[in-house]
Amino acid sequence: KAGVTQTPRYLIKTRGQQVTLSCSPISGHRSVSWYQQTPGQGLQFLFEYFSETQRNKGNFPGRFSGRQFSNSRSEMNVSTLELGDSALYLCASSLGVDRVGSPLHFGNGTRLTVT
Amino acid sequence: DAKTTQPTSMDCAEGRAANLPCNHSTISGNEYVYWYRQIHSQGPQYIIHGLKNNETNEMASLIITEDRKSSTLILPHATLRDTAVYYCISYRGTSGSRLTFGEGTQLTVNP
């Protein structure tokens, strides 16, 4: 069974640009969550999608947005990039919001560098 | 979600068992204990989880104390590839939960 796939693996952008990251969950998984990981802040929750609906959102500015498609694949978008957005962006999938005990499975992330 | 505490670092000889402790004294009755590990520049890898009973899978064993205030992850025969940061977290496990990874334990397996 294929794991969570994130593309691209690495990305370099300049300030002010926008970026779109993609995530394909494990087959059968309907919930997708996004996290930002930095050395100083650790793992921080961005948002979660289930059945194409955003279920939870973390404390990030509106420049960070996401969506989920009918096949459960998800994208996140960051507009007007800032230097502080440089981070490892992780996507995780799980079976669903009502499946207590269902673990999250992470992709290997997209390393975004903003210059 | 309950807070967990883990030692900052541990060493283990290759081929020996690695026993990683975790304290989760404020865990709620409906919260599971999950273990993940992260190798540099990769995403966290799910290892194992449990609620009350001890669990074992192809990667590791999880021993949870009867009062559920602590647990131990056991890697039975550590290899160099097990060198990673190991995170113990406790949460209900519904997808709506927001995972909070603490500092974790840096496990170094030595040849």
Tell me: the pLDDT tens digits for B26-61?
888 888 999 999 998 899 999 999 999 899 999 999
A49 interaction partners in chain B (CB closer than 8 Å): none
pLDDT at B3: 84
Is the CB of residue A69 less than 8 Å from the CB of residue A3?
A: no
What's the gap in Å between the CA of A70 and the closest CA on chain B? 18
Cα A70 vs. chain centroid, distance in angstroms? 17
pLDDT at B98: 67
Mean pLDDT of B66-82: 96
- List, for residues B80-106, the tens digit of each pLDDT value: 999 999 999 988 766 555 677 888 999
The token pair at A23 is 């995530």
Asked if the Cβ–Cβ distance from A98 to B30 is below 8 Å, we say no
Of all residues in chain B, the one with the smallest CA distance to A59 is B98
Is the CB of residue B79 less than 8 Å from the CB of residue B33?
A: no
Between CA A113 and CA A63 the distance in angstroms is 16
